[in-house]
Structure formats: structure tokens, C-alpha cells
Structure 1
Amino acid sequence: MPSRKTLLATAAGATAIVLAAGGATAAALDKAVTLSVDGQASDHHVFGSTVRDLLDDQGIAVGSADRVSPSLDAPLRDGETVSVAYARPLTVTVDGRTQRVTTTERTVDGALAALGLRDDAARLSVSRSLGIGRSGLSVSVVTPKRVTVTVDGTKVTRTITAGTVAEALGQLRITLGRGDRVTPAASTPLTDGLAVTVARVTTKDSTRTETIGHDTVRRESSSLYVGDTDVQTRGRDGVRTVVTRTTSVDGRATGTTEVSSTVTRKPVDEVVLVGTKRRPEPVATPTPSSSSSADSSSDSSDDSAQGSTQGSTPTATPTPTPTASEPAPSGAGLNLARAAMWDRIAACESGGNWAINTGNGYYGGLQFAQGTWVGAGGTDFASRADLASRAEQITVANRLYASSGTSPWGCA
């Protein structure tokens, strides 16, 4: 049977073997590695067998879009370098077309190269060396394009880095007027080989006046006889001012439109009073003598009468009556009675000009007012007295004489 001393020695030896084996295992699990996260490197001692163990030990979580090298399940070796590159959202607009991607590149230039969009002649909205943060970035890229512009009769072809037609015109120093037309529209994205046309549009305003005719208003008047009229308010035409605009494209007129129409003077209605007063019964006119003997007798009677009345009080002169010297009514519808008297009145009223029209509102040799001419039936012969003949004016005057005598004439 082994002694107690032998058993103790055996136990101590076994313990030493276990401790030695444990130390060797611990030494095998402890690895010195370098960890680079988005380019930031750090050294670590870690007990683990895979890359995932390293990241878990450092509290680094990664997503499916992030890049880890070596892979998460790869064995972790002593002295190894592990790289982690986080994915970043990137919005790229190339010549007006937008795409949204994720990239693990940390600079704009690197991201564009990875996407196959690197063009040293392109124009970028940001610096190529700009870093892309974890929150992402938006960048616009304008590539060079060949464009042809026709303007002012000249065709120009250039290669430019412009995003739209408007930007291309600006780079070519082509100034647009307010009304100029651009085809295609200025907001159109520029494409390689695009043809652009600029049409110069000019306008010219002109002003003209138009007459606005006045109306005639007829009002009854109890102060005028039936058939008589009088102009209370003379009518006056109005005036309208019209502005028109003529449009020309590249020097050729293409159309005219009305810009404004303004009444600059309102028309004034003509007010005509129409008589409603009943005329008095006409006084019978003595029949004129028809023989020379009657004239002689009349002359003798007149001489006797004058002799017999010498020294007595004068009596009122009676209204003139037709004599042999005044033609009797003659012609179709004409009445030339009192022709000599009417000639005398015409000589005083108008200087004997039967066709006079001075614009004072009175017409013809006997200076009829238009309302009086119409009321006495003058339109049987002409629209106004000055357009009627002497005989016709005398005929109308005799009609008026039958009701009013010579009172309408100041020269009677």
C-alpha cells in the first residue's frame, strides 16, 4: 500500500501538469490584433477564435450592408488586422437623373469611382475629396455635353457642362428678353447633342380713337304746339381710346391684340322736345285780287283811305296778304304765296342764301330750326331746310304762317 508521502507527491505532480496545460491553452487563446473602423486603427488583446468574437468584445455592431474583412466567421489569428467599413447612404443626381445607393467608401471621389461615375471633366456640386459621414450625403454631377444653339440668325455649337437649357444659355452668354421663346423650354435637362432655338419676341403698342355715337331722346313738352319740336340738349358723340399691341417674332409680325379700351369722353344724348300743345284754329286768309283793275281800285282805295285818315290816330298794320305781285300756289304740292315777303325775310335772316348752313342750328334762307322744319312737314321735301329749294322752303314757311303768322321770324 503506498505511503501517504507517495500519494502527496503524486497529487502535486498532477496539479502541476494541469496548470501547465491551462497556461498553454490561455496563451493559445490570447491574440494581439489590430482593429480598423472606418480607417481609425487600434491594437487589442482578445480571447476569441473568430472575427465576430473580436467585434463582440469591442461592442461593435455591424449590418448587412457594412463591410468586414476578414468575414465575421473567419478564424482570428494573432497579429491579424481586422477592418470594418460602415455603409453610408448616398444620393447621386447625374444630369437630372437621381439614384439612391449605399457605399462603404468614405470620400465622394471614391464613391463615384466605385459606382463607375468618375469623370474628371464632370462638374460636381461638392469637392471630390469631401468625406461622407455616417448620415450620408447628396451630390450632383453634370457631365460635359455637346449642344447647338440657334439665335439671332446664328448657329453656335459648344461642349459645356450645363444641367439645363437655361444654364447652357447662361454659359454661352446668351441673354433672354422677357418675351423671348426658347425651344425646348429653358427648364429642360440638357442632353448630349441637343438642339436649342431662341426666338426673339418684341411687342409694339399703338393707340387709336373711335367714335361712340350718341342717342336721341324725345320728350313731350306742353309748351310746344303739336307737330313742333325743339332741341333742348344738343347731342355729342363720345370718344373711345383703344390701345393695341403688335407682336413680332424675329422681326416678323405675327399678330395684334387689344390691350385696353377706355372711354375718354362719354357721349351726350340729344334731347328733343316734342310739342303736345293744341294749335289754335287757323285764321282765314283773304283771297288775292285777280285783275289789274282790282289792283287799281285797291290802290285808289288805299289813297282815299290815306287821305281820309290824315290827322286821325294811326291804326295797326294788318298781316300782309297775297297780292298780284306774289305768285299764287303753284307746282305739285308747292305754295309760293307771299313769295316777295319771304324773299325780304330771307335777305334779312341769311343774306338771301337759301342753301346756308353755318352750324348754328338754323338752316336755309329762312333759318328754320330743325325741329320747326320737321314739325311743319319740311321733310316732305328734304331732311333739312338748307337741302330744300327756295320754293320748297317758302311752301313750308306758308304752312307755319297759317298757324303762327310771321312771329317765328325776328326779321319779319
Structure 2
Amino acid sequence: MTDSYPERAMNKTLTTAALSLALLAGGTANAAAQTPTDTTSTTPTVTATSEATTVAAAAQVIHTVAKTHKVTMKVGNAKRKKTKTRAATVADLLALRGVTLGASDTVKPALTRKITKGLKITVKRVSVTSVTLTEVVPAPMVKQENATMRRGLSNVLQAGVPGSALRTYTQVSVNGKVTRKILTAETVLVAPVAGLLEVGTKGKPLNLARLKLWNKIARCESGGNWHINTGNGYYGGLQFALGTWRAYGGRDFASRPHKATKAEQITVANRVYKKQGTRPWGCA
């Protein structure tokens, strides 16, 4: 990217000022040499030193103005771009590129940071707004224990009815994406009605994980008959050996696998799975 018009104008102005400063220094020195301050002596050494210092300063200004740095800039959602600049600071570069900052926008590195080769400049567009929404309020569920129902099972006795509320949020967005949402006010429009959930407390809890896997194995092992007993020493839908059933706590539910429910057999199968995976089943 070539220098922008503002940068060229700035460069030209500063260069002209520096050259004028150098010429002025030379003219002052010549005048001092032609107009002695004392009839018996002059001070050419002091004048020459002053002239040299001023010219050196002017040369430094010219050198600084002429120095170009390659940097990259990313503003908001736009892609990061490479650019060349003679700007002195990050703030100067943004001004030259016409980038204006909002009250909440962030800039890295700081605006006062001097421009150096390879500097990465990132401007994030941050907005803070207030939004009001009508939202669903989920219905709570009241639990009711049932000592005759197996632990781990539940049954909805009465479905809850959701409500609604008017909610106001302070919303913070960075480059157009919401990053924070803070609830500042809420008015309930329709109160939710609680539901009633029956939960079992009898015996050991059930574990119905990997249900699809156990259904697949049962179809292969027993044709999907969870209460089969052929007398071959293997029982139930997953064809447990009696020793395995007992070793993994099957008697929490029934004396033999085929007398247990499908859920109870799967619970014992998951205990076996935790130790051995699916290795005990040839159909796995």
C-alpha cells in the first residue's frame, strides 16, 4: 500500500519546515559573522557550533519523516491488512487512515505506542446496548418419592406449564458478536405452574447408559428376548452366566438374570462394561 495523501502532505510539510530551519540557521550564522559584537574580537566558534547543532537537528527531522515502517492493521471484522506508514504513533496512523474510535472501542497496542517495524495493530469495535426481550420461564418440577418404584426410575404425574417474563439486558458486543449479556430488570408476565415428578427410591439405582448397544447385543444373543432361559447356563436378553450375574451385583435385582427386568439387566451389563468393556459378549 502506498502512502496516503495525508501522510504525503504531512511529510512534505515537516520536510519543508526542517529545511527552512536549516536555512535560517545558516543565515543567522552568516549575519553573526558579518556583524561583530565587539570591535576587538568576534565569536565565530560559538556561531559555528550553534549552526552545526541546528542543521543536525534539521537533518534528524528529515530522517525521521522519511523513515517508513511496514505494519499490519485489523479494524473490526475486516481482514488484517499490511500497510506502509511514516506515522510516529498508533494514534497518528489511525488518524491518517481515517479510523475513528467509539467510546467503548479498544486498541492494541496503546495509542501512544511508537510505530515500529512489524507492529500488529488491532482495533475492536465494542458496543454496549440495552435490549428487552419476552422470554419463556420454564416450569419447575416438584419431586415426589415413591418407595415402591425402582430407584433411578421416574414418572411425570403432572406436566408443568411454562410462563413468560419481560427481561431487560445490558448487552456487550465485540465486532458484532455478543460476548456478555447481563440481566438488569425482569417483569413476570405469566407465572409458570409447577409440575409433579414421581421418583423411585426402592433398591439400587438403575443405569441405562448405552441402551442402543445393549439392544443390539440382545438381538444377537437372545433374539431380543429379555426373559429367555433355555437351560444352557446363560440367562436373559444379554445371556449372562450365573457367576457373572452374581459377581457384578445382579442379586440386587433378582436371583437369576432372566427374572430381572430389562432395565435391571442393562444396569448389571454396564457394571460389567466398566471393568471389561464388551469383551464378554461375542455379538458385540
Q: Same fold (TM over 0.5)?
A: no
Q: Whose helix proportion is higher, 1 or 2?
A: 2
Length-normalised TM-score, structure 1: 0.26
